[in-house]
Amino acid sequence: MTLKTGDKAPLFSLKNSDGEDVRLEDFIGKKNVVLLFFPLAFSSVCTDELCHVRDNIKKYESLDAEILGISVDSFFALKAFKKEQNLNFHLLSDFNKNVSEAYGALYDDFYGMVGVSKRSAFVVGKDGIIKYAEVLEKASEIPDFDKVQAALA
């Protein structure tokens, strides 16, 4: 089931690219959070999407938002991807697919691979409620960042 605006965001704890635990609940009451689920590190559209966010990080910071990129890649792969692309926000490994599934952002079949995150954007307000939800069926599309930023404003 895909989550929608007004739903309570499922809490989670995932490993970041340094193997450290990052918990959604640590941001509740303090910052807005933008969850960006993406299919696979090092793929062209994912790279374009995350580099766009990197290049616009000041805008998100001005909106008091923390960016969390989430994929089913291992945190080892995410560490290499983050370093190669000089990404300035957390990348989190949902290797066991629990969080992608909880947010309704998981492909059953992605080019023959089972359980890959769908490209998706969720804005979680400081109150823990989803302010914006976009789950894309086509991995070649990217989220509407204007709408993401509008939900943060």
- The alpha carbon dihedral of 30, 31, 35, 36 has a sign of negative
9, 46, 99, 105: which is the annotated catalytic residue? 46
> Is 51 known to be catalytic?
no
Catalytic residues: 46
